[in-house]
A and B are shown apart, each in its own frame.
Chain A
Amino acid sequence: MYGWIFSHLPGPLWARVLISILLIVTVILLLLTIVFPWLSQFNPLTDSTIGTPGS
């Protein structure tokens, strides 16, 4: 899958390496800023309140 994506990126080798790094960084940033904060509220291990949280 990743090999297929890599071979379909345009440009010479150095450009494809650069684009790959940019893509990976973008995905990680999306995870850290949007996906993980949202996912964190479903983590039962960090619940420190008594009764139903939020009540």
Chain B
Amino acid sequence: MARARRHRRRRGRSPLQTVIQIAGELLITFGVILLLFVGWELWWTNIESNQKQEAAIETLMEDFDAPVVPQDTDEDLKDYGEPIVMDPVQDGESFAVVYIPRFGAEFTRPVTDGVGVSVLDNLGLGHYPQTAMPGEVGNFALAGHRQTHGMVLDAIHTLVPGDRIYVQTKDGYYTYVYRNNQIVLPNRLDVIAPVPTQLGVVPTERMMTLTSCNPRFGAEERIIAYSVMESWQPLSAGPPAEIAPLVASNAEKGA
């Protein structure tokens, strides 16, 4: 039966026609696979990466275990002295949570040491090893995707000078104030120097630098966002008022 059907199909078809037919089918297949890849990269990687980041935040919040309501409502900017700076962590270890209200009231992302593919594609923000830790004099430098894999820094161009960026570690909350951005070529390693763009200068300020790709769907350039630390408070003082609801909801998930 199958044999008869095959003979009927083969009849009157030259080898050239068969080759063209197979080539055509392969090309169509390749096109469909390419479309699948685009869909996967632009859509599915976000879902997958967001799940992993939420799980990472839950784990971190379990470890932090601190009050989730501001303890000093009278004095917003109480002076807690020199910020505690945590020791550097191993590559691939998550150690902080970042809150950026400008990116939405719900914006919260984990920070993991390392800027390799395995960190940035799965866990959102990656900390450049060798750069400062949160609250340290120098440059606390982070990288994150603008598109795909959670799109952590998609809205980086919407930051307005004066916007607060909050970093929470096991020691406390570090409040950075966004200052300016800069668009540079990808080889400009000096933007993550202790004093950004000034190699070899001894730092006196506590800076934070975010790097992401630019333009939004390309990678010809990098967009850099600089912030300066304004204040810090220990975990026991509770979260800064602006992010208190989000910290509380994160802590609830981690409980």
Per-residue interface assignment for chain A, residues 5 to 34, with 1 indicating a CB less than 8 Å from any chain B CB and 0 otherwise:
001100000000000000000001001100
Interface size on A, residues (CB 8 A): 26
Residues of A within 8 A of B96 (CB): none
* Chain A nearest CB, measured from B120 CB (Å): 7
Q: A44 vs B218: C-alpha distance in the bound complex, in angstroms?
A: 8
Given A40-B121, A53-B115, A53-B117, A48 contacting B40 (CB threshold 8 A): no
Kindly state the separation between the CA atoms of A13 and B76 in the bound complex, as whole angstroms: 74
| B37 and A36 contacting across the interface, CB-CB below 8 Å | yes
B interface residue count range (under 10 / 10 to 19 / 20 to 34 / 35 or more) = 35 or more
In the complex, the answer to whether A32 meets B120 with C-beta atoms within 8 Å is no
- With A28-B36, A44-B219 as known contacts, state yes or no: A49 contacts B25, CB within 8 Å: no
Please give, as numbers and ranges, the residues of chain B lying within 8 Å of A7 by CB-CB distance.
2, 5-6, 9
Chain B residue numbers with a CB within 8 Å of A2 are: 25
Residues of B within 8 A of A46 (CB): 41, 145, 147-149, 213, 219
Given contacts A39-B37, A43-B41, whether A48 and B153 have CB atoms under 8 Å apart is yes
Least Cβ distance of A24 to chain B in Å?
Answer: 10
Cβ of B217 within 8 Å of any chain A Cβ, yes or no, is: yes
A48–B9 touching, CB < 8 Å? no
- Please determine whether A1 and B2 come into contact, CB atoms closer than 8 angstroms: no
CB distance from B152 to the nearest CB of A (A): 9
Query: Is B138 an interface residue when CB atoms closer than 8 A count as contact?
Result: no
Nearest chain-A residue to B224 (Cβ)? A50
In angstroms, Cα B61 to Cα A48, docked, is 27
Q: CA A55 – CA B235 in complex, angstroms?
A: 32
Against A, the Cβ 8 Å flags (1 = close, 0 = not) of B146-158 are 1111000100000
B145's nearest neighbour on chain A, judged by CB, is A48
- Chain B 122-152, CB-CB to A under 8 Å as 1, else 0, gives 0000101000000000000001111111000
A interface residues with partner B (beta carbon < 8 Å): 1-4, 7-8, 28, 31-32, 36-37, 39-41, 43-51, 53-55
